[in-house]
């Protein structure tokens, strides 16, 4: 089911949490909603579920305007960060809950409910756990029960609020892979919130980056990473070095010295230059190129990371370099950027 958000706004009292969001989520898509704390991710999800009423704007499920539908009518699967499992019900009862509370006319027969619960337990690799209570499960198992419970009602859209937030790194990794599998098998339109960028980039078909209640960029993970649409996205996703530069007559300067770099737009004025550590290349120093001095070398199993103090203007750069390069602390080297992005700074 396609989900379309149109001009969606939410204001709590005086303070706006979501400022007019337009977004279309394609049927069957796995969309990662990424953003810093307080950016409005939960609020957006809750509005789609009907747990929060938008101040303005509309939500469409397919062609149907769902803005004024009740929570129950929307039939979304919502997985809460804290799982919200019913403690006094067994795992099987939790999963069956949504099937059992339906009005009599729409309710499945007990045998069918039983069968469906068994299927879901299987799908979630929880076979044999049906009789346990939530208190007797590990965090990862609880998370899977919560997901099974949401899937049981055949939701039109699956909403996950930081589904792996409370789990340790290894369990997160396993569950991530497994969520991807479940998604491929069931094909539900899914939106999941995370503030773990690695998770979002690895798992999502598309990533939506939210900041201060606004969508900064919605794109495929590789586009988000390689072609960030805004300074915020570049700074938020992945690592980057930042240098404040001035664009004048189509040339770039820092502290008065010409950087000999290509401009990326027409607007003169202050810019911020982003370059990822793996795009900082070291070479023999030249007359016209950037020069720097090696301040520190950090060797780790991830590779070699070099801290460079730029000589011609104030600034330091982090570079990730080949293990084979011979480097000495204090050595003067040449620096080139194999890739960088410029964003105009608002004055």
Partner 1 sequence: MTKSFLQRDPIQRDRDMVRESRLVERTLIALVFVILALFFFAPMLVVFVEAGRKGLLAYFTAIADPETKSAIKMTLMVATLAVPINALFGLAAAWAIARFEFPLKNLLVTLIDLPFSVSPVVVGLSFVVLFGSRGYFAPLLVQYNLQIIFAWPGLVLATTFVTFPFVARELIPLMQQQGVEDEEAALTLGACPLKMFLTVTLPNIKWGLIYGILLCNARAMGEFGAVAVVSGRIRGMTTTLPLQVEVLYGGFDLSGAFAIASILAGLALVTLIIKTVLEWRHAADLAASQRH
Residues near Mg ion, by CB under 5 A: 42
- Told to check if 163 binds partner 1 by CB under 8 A, we report no
- Told to check if 104 binds partner 1 by CB under 8 A, we report no
- Told to check if 41 binds ligand ATP by CB under 6 A, we report yes
Subset of residues 123 to 162 that bind partner 1, contact rule: CB under 8 A? 149-150, 152-153
Residue 156 corresponds to which tokens in the numbers above?
């039109």
- Told to check if 86 binds partner 1 by CB under 8 A, we report yes
Q: How many CA atoms lie within 13 A of 85 on its CB side?
A: 29
What's the chain's length in residues?
Answer: 347
Q: List beta partners, residue 160.
A: 79, 192
- Told to check if 215 binds ligand ATP by CB under 6 A, we report no
d(CA 77, CA 157) in angstroms, rounded, equals 6
Q: Interface mask (CB under 8 A) for partner 1, residues 20-49, using x and -?
A: -----------------------------x
Least gap, CB of 35 to Mg ion (angstroms): 9
d(CA 143, CA 149) in angstroms, rounded, equals 10
153 binds, among partner 1, Mg ion, ligand ATP, none (CB under 5 to 8 A by kind): partner 1
C-alpha dist (Å) from residue 245 to 108, 121, 275, 316, 327: 65, 57, 13, 14, 28
| Complete DSSP assignment for 148-191 | HHHHHT--SEEEEESTTTTS-HHHHHHHHHHHHHHHHHH---EE
d(CA 156, CA 61) in angstroms, rounded, equals 8
C-alpha dist (Å) from residue 268 to 246, 249, 252, 290, 315: 8, 7, 9, 22, 21
Subset of residues 180 to 209 that bind ligand ATP, contact rule: CB under 6 A? 195
**Residue pair 233/288 in contact by the 8 Å Cβ criterion:** no
Least gap, CB of 289 to partner 1 (angstroms): 57
Part of the chain binding ligand ATP (CB under 6 A), chosen from 38-46, 58-66, 230-238, 302-310: 38-46
- Told to check if 35 binds ligand ATP by CB under 6 A, we report yes
Least gap, CB of 158 to Mg ion (angstroms): 17
Least gap, CB of 35 to ligand ATP (angstroms): 6
37 Cβ contact partners less than 8 Å away, ≥ 6 residues apart: 195
| Structure-derived torsion over alpha carbons of residues 299, 302, 303, 308, reported in degrees to the nearest 10 | -70
Least gap, CB of 16 to ligand ATP (angstroms): 8
Least gap, CB of 162 to ligand ATP (angstroms): 7
Subset of residues 75 to 104 that bind ligand ATP, contact rule: CB under 6 A? none
35 binds, among Mg ion, ligand ATP, partner 1, none (CB under 5 to 8 A by kind): ligand ATP
Taking only Cα atoms into account, the Rg of the chain, rounded to an integer number of angstroms, comes to 25
Binding site for partner 1 (CB under 8 A): 49-51, 71-72, 74-78, 80, 82, 84, 86-88, 97-98, 101-102, 149-150, 152-153
């Amino acid at each position: 089911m396609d989900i379309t958000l149109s001009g969606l706004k939410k204001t709590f009292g005086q303070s706006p949490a979501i400022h007019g969001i337009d977004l279309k989520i394609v049927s069957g898509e796995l969309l990662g909603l990424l953003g810093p704390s307080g950016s409005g991710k939960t609020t957006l999800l809750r509005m789609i579920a009907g747990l929060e009423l938008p101040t303005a704007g509309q939500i469409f499920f397919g062609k149907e305007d769902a803005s004024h539908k009740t929570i129950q009518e929307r039939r979304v699967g919502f997985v809460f960060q804290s799982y919200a499992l019913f403690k006094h019900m067994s795992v099987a009862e939790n999963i069956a809950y949504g099937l059992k509370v339906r009005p009599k006319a729409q309710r499945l027969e007990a045998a069918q409910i039983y069968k469906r619960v068994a299927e879901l337990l299987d799908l979630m690799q929880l076979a044999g756990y049906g009789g346990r209570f939530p208190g007797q499960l590990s965090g990862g198992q609880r998370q899977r029960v919560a997901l099974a419970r949401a899937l049981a009602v055949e939701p039109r859209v699956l909403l996950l609020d930081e589904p792996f937030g409370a789990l340790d790194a290894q369990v997160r990794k396993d569950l991530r892979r497994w969520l991807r599998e479940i998604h491929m098998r069931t094909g539900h339109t899914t939106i999941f919130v995370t503030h773990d960028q690695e998770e979002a980039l690895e798992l999502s078909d598309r990533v939506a980056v939210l900041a201060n209640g606004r969508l900064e960029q919605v794109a495929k993970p590789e586009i988000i990473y390689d072609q960030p649409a805004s300074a915020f996205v570049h700074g938020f996703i992945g690592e980057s070095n930042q240098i404040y530069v001035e664009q004048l007559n189509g040339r770039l300067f820092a502290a008065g010295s010409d950087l000999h770099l290509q401009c990326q737009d027409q607007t003169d004025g202050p810019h911020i230059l982003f370059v990822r550590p793996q795009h900082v290349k070291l070479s023999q120093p030249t007359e016209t190129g950037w020069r720097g001095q090696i301040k520190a070398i950090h060797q780790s199993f991830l590779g070699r990371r070099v801290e460079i103090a730029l000589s011609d203007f104030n600034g330091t750069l982090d570079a990730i370099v080949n293990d084979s390069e011979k480097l000495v602390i204090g050595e003067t080297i040449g620096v080139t950027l194999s890739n960088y992005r410029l964003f105009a700074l608002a004055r």
